[in-house]
């Protein structure tokens, strides 16, 4: 099996996968923390994790994570367009992850809009946004896990 490129040799090429992994972990944990399960399933009973049952705190963490994610998305997208696209190309697994990530971000943006005081969505639209945000995240996690096992990265080096 051909192992695709996941890490570059530049400083940010080494740092980005780490930052992305940590960010994904924080977003997944704080996102699942929005479901009333951490208290029910003793997660918040684990020493040091009592805070995880505080919905407002996990919500705040999720928002801060989203800010970092959006900044990272802006950086990676323009870094690719301005220079990296000459050296690397998106793999099939990278494209799948990108689509799922776009789904998470777009539905997330609507969720943020919904939480503003002067914005009201229709009940049907609210339901679609809420469930699809969760659905995209679950799909992304499963896809990321599968691609990790298969050794498929986001990008691969172009051959000249």
Applying CB under 8 A, the residues found at the interface with other proteins are 12, 34-37, 39-42, 55-56, 59-60, 63-64, 66-68, 70-79, 82-83, 109-110, 112-132, 134
User: Smallest gap, in angstroms, from Cβ of residue 123 to other proteins?
Assistant: 5
As measured in angstroms, the least distance from the Cβ of 56 to other proteins is 7
- Write the CB contacts of 50 (distance below 8 Å, at least 6 apart in sequence): 44
Give me the residues paired with residue 157 across strands. Answer: 88
Smaller CB separation from other proteins, 120 or 146: 120
Token duo for residue 75: 């950086």
Shortest separation between residue 74's beta carbon and other proteins, angstroms = 3
Q: Please check whether residue 96 is in contact with residue 143, taking contact to mean a CB–CB distance below 8 angstroms.
A: yes
**Residue position matching structure tokens 């992304």:** 140
Which CB sits closer to other proteins, 124 or 149?
Answer: 124
The pair phi, psi for residue 90, each rounded to 5°, is -70, 135
Q: Identify which of residues 66 and 144 has a Cβ nearer to other proteins in the complex.
A: 66
Rounded to a whole number of angstroms, the minimum distance from the CB of residue 144 to other proteins is 21
Q: Longest C-alpha distance within the chain, in Å?
A: 55
Do the beta carbons of residue 129 and residue 110 sit within 8 Å? yes
Nearer to other proteins, 32 or 147 (CB): 32
């Amino acid at each position: 099996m051909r192992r695709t490129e996941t890490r570059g040799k530049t400083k940010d090429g080494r740092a980005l996968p780490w930052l992305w992994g940590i960010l994904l972990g924080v977003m997944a944990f704080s996102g699942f923390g929005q479901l009333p399960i951490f208290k029910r399933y003793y997660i918040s009973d684990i020493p040091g994790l009592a805070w995880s049952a505080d919905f407002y705190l996990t919500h705040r963490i999720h928002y801060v994570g989203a800010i970092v994610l959006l900044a990272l998305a802006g950086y990676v997208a323009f870094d690719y367009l301005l220079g990296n696209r000459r050296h690397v190309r998106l793999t099939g697994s990278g494209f799948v992850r990108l689509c799922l990530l776009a789904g998470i971000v777009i539905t997330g943006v609507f969720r943020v809009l919904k939480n503003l005081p002067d914005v009201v969505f229709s009940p049907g639209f609210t339901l679609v946004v809420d469930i699809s945000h969760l659905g995209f995240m679950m799909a992304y996690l499963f896809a990321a896990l599968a691609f990790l096992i298969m050794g498929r990265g986001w990008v691969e080096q172009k051959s000249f």
